[in-house]
Amino acid sequence: MKAMILKKHGAIEEKPLELTEAPVPEPGQGQILVRVSMCGLCHTDLHTVEGDLELPTLPIIPGHQIVGTVEKLGEGVAAPGVGARVGAAWLYETCQSCRFCVSGSENLCESARFTGFHVNGGYAEYAVLPAEFIYELPDGFDDREAAPLLCAGIIGYRALRLSGIEPGGVLGLYGFGASAHVAIQVAVHWGCEVLVFSRTEAHRKHAMELGASWTGTSKQMPPKKTDASIIFAPAGGIVPDALRVLDKGGTVTLAGITMTEIPALDYERHLYHEKVLRSVTASTREDGRELIGLAAEIPIRTKTTLFNLEEANEALWLIKESRISGAGVLDVQQKGAI
């Protein structure tokens, strides 16, 4: 099979991902073999490739927003059946027995393993995945539309829930990439007013098209305070800006897997009046099931730019430079535009 393999960390400008011919993997106990159709490109992929997040093992095939069809079942797997359309996300598997798993917080499992981080992911024609941790995908959106839902969408949805935003509330979104362009559609569906802060004019325009009532940069003062905000951009300098325009009792949620240093905060100006600052760590399978159900119901329409598998380096560079509006997706089987 063809795969884009990372053998050592490197700046994306140096094209560290190598197109390689690799053997098709065999599914083991409780696993399935998936023929990958599409794989979403995520900012986390960029962090792992460049070494902002040190990988526990190399070489590795990145990619954790996988859409494909079941090709083969491993021992002990009854469902999903061969031919089923499925998706896989960042959470590859957990121990399912620790205090976090049994309490519904499996995303905090000490033994959690992640797709494209601990094990090979979706920048390849085939991937082996645990049957218990995949999603059967409904009709209503095609493979290309589905791919960004499997991380960008799920993380955005979890961040929305943890922000505590209520229907009719005022929500701030900082950074308007793949996650935010899904989250805004859920928030608008809930009847929220959405204010979008982005340094990129094209992203601000996209936000207005999706229902934002106002857009600007993080340094600007919006027309009203926010009841809750989500920071998608991995820039710690935005945190004081978001807290400054947050109303009393509100929450600022940090949705990134990594972030630059957060500047010193002034207690009275930024945190007093029971404001909350909290992070998001991965997601649970329940988050994924809820988001995929909502995506079909609303319906959520993802805006995507398609790349061939061998263009992964160039695509991640465009993400680094904020030059993709919406989400990037690898067309692994080169089906072309859908």
Q: Which of 279, 296, 316 is the last residue of a domain?
A: 279
Q: What's the CATH number where 180 sits?
A: 3.40.50.720
> Using 50, 70 and 90 to split pLDDT, how confident is the model at 337?
very low
10 and 142 part of one domain: yes
Going by C-alpha positions, the residue among 258, 4, 40, 31 that lies closest to residue 144 is 40
Q: Is the pLDDT of residue 338 over 60?
A: no
129 and 162 part of one domain: no
Quote the percentage of the chain above a pLDDT of 70: 99
Mean pLDDT, rounded, of the chain: 96
164 and 264 part of one domain: yes
Q: Got the DSSP string for 70-125? A: EEEE-TT--SSPTT-EEEE-SEEE--S-SHHHHTT-GGG-TT-EEBTTTB--SSBS
In a domain, residue 338? The reply is no
Q: What is the pLDDT of residue 24?
A: 98
11 and 140 part of one domain: yes
Q: What's the CATH number where 12 sits?
A: 3.90.180.10
Q: Is the pLDDT of residue 11 over 90?
A: yes
Cα–Cα distance, 229 to 253 (Å, whole number): 6
Q: What is the pLDDT of residue 140?
A: 86
**Mean pLDDT throughout 247-264?**
96
Which pLDDT tens digit goes with each residue over 94-149? 999 999 999 999 999 999 999 999 999 999 999 999 999 999 999 889 999 999 99
75 and 136 part of one domain: yes
271 and 309 part of one domain: no
274 and 291 part of one domain: no
172 and 183 part of one domain: yes
CA dihedral 309, 310, 313, 318 (to 10 degrees): -60
Q: What is the pLDDT of residue 61?
A: 98
144 and 179 part of one domain: no
Q: Is the pLDDT of residue 91 over 60?
A: yes
> Using 50, 70 and 90 to split pLDDT, how confident is the model at 334?
confident
In a domain, residue 336? The reply is no
Cα–Cα distance, 126 to 113 (Å, whole number): 19
Cα–Cα distance, 288 to 284 (Å, whole number): 7
**Mean pLDDT throughout 179-201?**
97
The pairing of strands 226-231 and 170-174 is: parallel
Cα–Cα distance, 213 to 208 (Å, whole number): 7
- Domain extent at residue 158: 153-279
70 and 159 part of one domain: no
What is this structure's pTM?
0.94
Handedness of CA 44, 335, 209, 149 (dihedral sign): negative
In a domain, residue 139? The reply is yes
> Using 50, 70 and 90 to split pLDDT, how confident is the model at 309?
very high
211 and 302 part of one domain: no
60 and 97 part of one domain: yes
Record the tokens describing residue 164, joined without a space. Answer: 């505590």
Q: Is the pLDDT of residue 89 over 70?
A: yes
Record the tokens describing residue 39, joined without a space. Answer: 């794989």
Number of domains, the chain: 2
In a domain, residue 337? The reply is no
